[in-house]
Chain A
Amino acid sequence: MRFSVDRAVLLSGLQRTYGVVPVRSTLPLLQNILLVASPGGIELTATDLEVSVRTTLPILVDEAGALAVPARLFYEVVRELPEIPIDFRTEGLELVAQTPHGLYRFPGVPKEDFPDIAVTPPEEGVVFETEVLSRLLSKASFAVSNDPLRLALTGVLLHFHDGLVEVVSTDGKKLVRIQRRGIEHAYADAQAVLPTKAVNIYLRNADASPKTTVFLAQNHVILDLAGTVIYAKLIAAKYPNYAKVIPLTNEYEMKANRDELAAAIRRVSVFASALGRAVQFSFRSDQLAITAQDIEYGGQGYEVLPVEYRGRDLDVAYNGQFLLEILRHIDTERVVFRIQDEQTGALIFPEQQREDEELLVLIMPIRLTESGEGSA
């Protein structure tokens, strides 16, 4: 193998793949990056066996060949080099990089030992504007669960049905769903549970191409960003029927300025004991009072906001940190809460939905289980 490449080109390729390399692994082999040189250019591949990325750098190759080299070593050397061309060649099982500055030798592993990540894509894929798919995934992946016993919920659901594309995540306490119309696909009903890592790697690579083609294979999803392709094993668990937990009949609506609301929650929840949980919302006619108290050490935070509200008086507590996270994902100036009572989840929307898009968040209340109710 022999080729010459500009440092900037190689670095960008490494940045696309390096994130997949596991920090620790029972399989030390995975801490390598595979380089394959062929007449069309060089291919960089990294994998943790669940998620893999392959990126192609179209450069001139003098001699084809392949070798896997330690990812960190390789990445750090390339990062530290100035903007110059680097000459690469293999010497036995070593990769040698030569620059006017010097010589760097990387111990290599034969290509044959590196896991084969090849997955044959099905013929038909769904073509997205990358901007659209990355918006869907970045808006709707914050509610994933980290409970390994609820495997399906640790992933992000990509759901094609009824001419819609839907992305959902939930941990049982909160749920986010974003729907998008107008993306052509032939699926009547197809679901794929994407590992969170694959979603993050995709979002980090979204600048690679303006179009993304999504292929659903048997156990894999393939996200093809032209020169950069992400292969991910799907989470092998059925995603629960989330639609039925969304309380679409909630009748009382509150509208508030998103930034004011978030700022008030941030200040008041300083007092919410540990963790910034349990912030009480007292919904009153055209005003919202927010209270939190520090149970361990005493102290209370309290604010009142002018809002639009005509429903009945309700006192409902929510996890303040969850609320802040949700508000970060709403991009309109005003935010809408639709509520029902102390036990039913609140639906949260942006005041205006984007064209062809519907974003919905559900947050479950925190209930006072012993007395506690009953205060006027």
Chain B
Amino acid sequence: MTMARIIFHIDMDAFFAAIEELDNPALRGKPVVVGADPKGGRGRGVVSTANYEARKYGIRSAMPISEAYRRCPDAVFLPVRGERYHQVSRQIMSLLKEYTPLVEPVSIDEAYLDMTHSPKLFGPPEEVAREIKRRIRETTGGLTASVGVGPNKLVAKIASDLQKPDGLVIVPEDQVRQFLWPLPIGHLWGVGKRTEPVLEGMGIRTIGDLARYPQDELVRRFGSWGYQLWELAQGRDDRPVTPVWKAKSISQEKTFESDVDDPEVMDATILELADGVTRQLRDEGVQGRTITLKIRLEDFSTFTRSQSLEVPTDRFADISRIALELFHRFDRRGQKVRLLGVGMSNFERGMKQLTFLDQLGDRDDRVDRVIDLVRKKFGESAIRRAITTAGRRPKRRGGS
């Protein structure tokens, strides 16, 4: 078997509302509701976050804002400032990444960390958890997080919820059952308002009741989901912590020294740019799905045209073909072109569809790789696709 894992679940307390209090200390101690405009009780949106003061009035996330208003008209209602929350979120996530590369953000204010291999570096989990909480507070200027630590995501998530706000609950592997089994069944991942009464009707009130229920019976009633539920009730959850990388884009552009009207030169430039993008993709080991062409005309009007592929690619053939198609479909209304750009985005960084084309002797891919290699060794201009030199080809002498 694999060694026991150590999973942290970090959950910021009333995140949006806490940031509002941070930015405006006068709000402290007052009920604060971040969400849609209540419009004096006639608003139609919902609550994003309520601070703990507001929760005393029964105000919860996702509740209609009109109901929140009815429950506490004197609360401070604030609009969602997404940009600001994202900024704080980024600070926190990058802090977490100092402890392990295996950080899986679940949402803007919540993340799992796989700390299995970290104790050697940072000390025992409890110490690390306290340190993370302290550093989040310091870095953000006062926000608190609740941390749950367990041998898997299920346990860590439940643990982080138990002593909110500013909580810390650590569940060692050998205490998972004592921890889980007394809890009401609703704590279990996947058991919601609809299944809870069904399970209660079967005499299952706690996670322990479910764990002791015959597995066959659950499978018979609920299919494979019943099997999963039972596994979870045993405290078993194999879901890996999977880090994700934020997508960015890779692009190259070229401004012509003088505005261009010759389609051949433009085609050649697009191929050259596509070639550059291909190379950068390969250097970074990523593949993208969306190819974007940027065109600036002589009057400085700028356009972008994009097309997405079904399967991510880092191949010159795909990128150049689509960039050219986009260009040929673009109507420049007789204007000359000032700038062209080719870009790639929509990455699944860290994900690459493997193929056996190399083994099949696929020519095209191999050419791309050879070009990259030659360039690395001998420099940029050592090798060029014949087709990209079109614009530079000396004019063929006519007749003389």
Chain A residues with a Cβ under 8 A of chain B = 147, 149-150, 170, 172-173, 175, 240-242, 244-245, 260, 264, 273-275, 277-278, 280, 282, 284, 287, 289, 291, 293, 295-296, 298, 300, 302-306, 313, 315, 317, 319, 343, 345, 362, 364-372, 374-376
Contact = CB atoms under 8 A, between A and B. Distances in A.
Interface in B324-380: 346, 348-357, 359-362, 364
* Interface pairs A-B: 8 shortest CB-CB: A172-B357, A172-B355, A240-B360, A245-B356, A375-B240, A364-B354, A376-B5, A370-B350
A345 B355 CA distance: 9
A376 B364 contact: no
Interface in B192-206: none
9 contacts: A147-B317, A150-B364, A240-B361, A241-B361, A245-B359, A275-B289, A280-B240, A298-B107, A367-B351
A303 B241 contact: no
B189 to A, nearest CB: 9
Contacts of A278: 348, 351
Given A147-B317, A295-B244, A305-B224, A367 B105 contact: no
A345 B353 contact: no
A274 B239 CA distance: 21
A186 B384 CA distance: 49
A172 B2 contact: no
B311 interface: yes
A221 to B, nearest CB: 22
B226 to A, nearest CB: 10
Contacts of B241: 375
A376 B353 contact: no
Interface of B: 1-3, 5, 101-102, 105-107, 114, 116-117, 219, 223-225, 227-228, 231, 238-245, 247, 285-286, 289, 308, 310-311, 317-318, 346, 348-357, 359-362, 364
A289 B224 contact: no
Contact of B242 (A293, A298, A313): A293
B341 to A, nearest CB: 23
Contact of B362 (A150, A273, A291): A150
B257 to A, nearest CB: 33
Contacts of A149: 317, 364
Given A371-B101, A375-B241, A376-B2, A173 B355 contact: yes
A367 B244 contact: no
Contacts of A376: 2-3, 5, 114, 116, 240
Nearest to B151: A376
B359 A244 contact: yes
Contacts of A284: 238
B102 A375 contact: yes
A341 to B, nearest CB: 12
Given A245-B356, A313-B2, A304 B224 contact: yes
A242 B357 CA distance: 10
A122 B65 CA distance: 79
B353 A306 contact: no
Contacts of B362: 150, 172, 240
Contacts of B225: 303
A282 B354 contact: no
A293 B227 contact: no
B311 A295 contact: no
Nearest to B114: A375
A369 B351 contact: yes
B101 to A, nearest CB: 5
Contact of A343 (B318, B354, B364): B354
